[in-house]
Amino acid sequence: MKTLPSSMQQIRSAFIWTRLLGVPFWGMLYLFSLILYKEIHISPLQISIILTLKPVSALVAPYWSQSIYQRPDLLLSNLVKANILRYLPFLFLPWIQSAWILILAFGLYMMFYRGVIPVWMEIIKSHLPDQEQRSLIAYGSILDYAATALLPLLLGIILDNYDNSWRFLFLCTALIGLLSTLFLYRLPISQALYPTLDVSTKKNSSASIWKMVTKKIFTPWKNSWELLKNDRQFLKFQCGFMLGGSGLMIIQPTLPMFFVDILHLSYTKMLIALTLFKGIGFALAMPLWVRLFHRWNIYRLSSGVTALATLFPLLLLYSQGHLVLLYLAYVFYGMMQAGSELSWHISGPTFAKEKNSVIFSETNVLAVGLRGCMVPPLGALLHTATSSTVVMLVGSLLCFLAFQYLFKAGAALKKEAPSS
């Protein structure tokens, strides 16, 4: 599947500009719950809803990309509409007073942000060679982490010195993000890469509304279930990724109490750890992960990710009285996240090979949603029944088990490779 170099360059430019122009807004969104708590005094319940909307949005997002499954003629329109709709509510933010409407706008943004991931992965997979795919995804991820590393600290200066500036910062950054739509309109989606499709619509007056609704609801889950039953290699990847991701997510509910009640951190110190040092680790490690991906299979790469994840909770536990260990923990977290972003995004095209990758990426998104709905509440219950230390140790143990599982899967795949 060869495309013109100019077409490949246009796709690269559109992907990079979409990320780059979205960086200022992503930086503001990173502080969303902190801003709402400080400026309009949202309740703890509302804060917890904001924290859960990210994983919950992953369960809803596949319904947006479902329309393009086996319909590449809809790739471009799906991408453009989602890009407009995710920023649109924030254009009215200076005049919105209800915290619940603001939270709804946040949830819609996350849904559309995740919903276009399968669309982008299919476009990149179909139009770019393998090495270019990995490099482009890595570069886009670095841009995202540049936002979380630098912009919250820079925007914090404006927020601290100008009252009510947060509303207009959201408006201005949303307008900047919307400009990326201009690049999407010119994407050269090559229909020659796909089989001829019958896109005619057939009327079916006898089909009930209930059947159509339930079909739309259950189709992504059914497709993912069939995929996992028929593709054991992808199932292994999902099991290992679910186990490692659960280890990290189970500690999330205990982190605020750990930072405030045990480490007694100021907001500045928390932001430095959560943004600056995590971003440094991400930026330093991403080029290394890309090089390793050329040598390692995806299981072995993911085992390296979970090995770093195992160390993160342990370093947090030992950071009491040693702030440098807290910053080191988040350097390791950023390094881990870099490998995780690469392996998670590239897993769809990797396992799909010559097949349509949308269903693989949709399954990834659904798995994130399931994990996000189930694991954090378990972490909160465990913290209530025991302590932060126990939760951290359990999280580290789960990551270690994921490391063992993925390392063995990688070794087995390497043995099979010569004979396959």
Q: What is the pLDDT of residue 72?
A: 61
Q: How confident is the model over 106-132, as a mean pLDDT?
A: 79
Domain enclosing residue 55, as ranges: 1-191
| Residue 150 scores a pLDDT above 80 | no
Do the domain assignments include residue 418? no
Residue 81 resides in a domain: yes
- 155-198 pLDDT, tens digit per residue, is 767 777 777 888 998 999 999 999 988 888 777 665 555 554 44
Domain boundary among 174, 191, 208: 191
Shared-domain flag, residues 56 and 92: yes
Looking at the structure, do residues 171 and 232 belong to the same domain, yes or no?
no
Average pLDDT, rounded, for the chain: 79
Mean pLDDT of 322-340: 90
Same domain, yes or no: 284 and 340? yes
Q: Give a yes or no: residue 367 inside a domain.
A: yes
| Same domain, residue pair 156 and 276 | no
pLDDT of residue 1: 41
CATH of the domain at 232: 1.20.1250.20
The total domain count for the chain is: 2
Whether residue 319 is predicted with pLDDT greater than 80 in this model: the reply is yes
160 and 273 housed in the same domain: no
Mean pLDDT across 59-88: 73
Q: Measured at the alpha carbon of residue 123, what is the angle toward residues 117 and 129, in degrees to the nearest 5?
A: 115
Q: Which of 191, 207, 242 is the last residue of a domain?
A: 191
> What share of the chain has pLDDT > 90, as a percent?
20
pLDDT in tens, 16-53: 888 888 888 887 887 787 778 778 877 756 766 777 78
List the single range of 35-39, 82-86, 105-109 with lowest mean pLDDT.
Answer: 35-39
Domain boundary among 155, 174, 191: 191
> What is the predicted pLDDT for the residue at 202?
46
pLDDT at 206 (0 to 100): 40
Both 278 and 408 in one domain: the answer is: yes
> Does the pLDDT of residue 323 top 80, yes or no?
yes
With 80 as the cut, is the pLDDT of residue 216 above it?
no
Indicate whether 214 belongs to any domain: no
Note the pLDDT tens digit of each residue in 365-402: 788 878 877 887 788 788 888 888 899 999 999 999 99
Whether 241 and 177 map to the same domain: the answer is no
In a domain, 204, yes or no: no
Tell me if 202 is assigned to some domain: no
For residue 400, tell me if it sits in a domain.
yes
pTM of the model as a whole: 0.66
Q: Are 176 and 240 members of one domain?
A: no
Domain shared by 171 and 294, yes or no? no
pLDDT given for residue 205 in this prediction:
42
Q: Would residue 237 count as lying in a domain?
A: yes
58 against 366, higher pLDDT: 366
Same domain as 348, residue 253: yes
Asked if pLDDT for residue 420 goes beyond 50, the answer is no
Is the domain of 256 the same as that of 181?
no
- Whether residues 242 and 126 share a domain: the answer is no
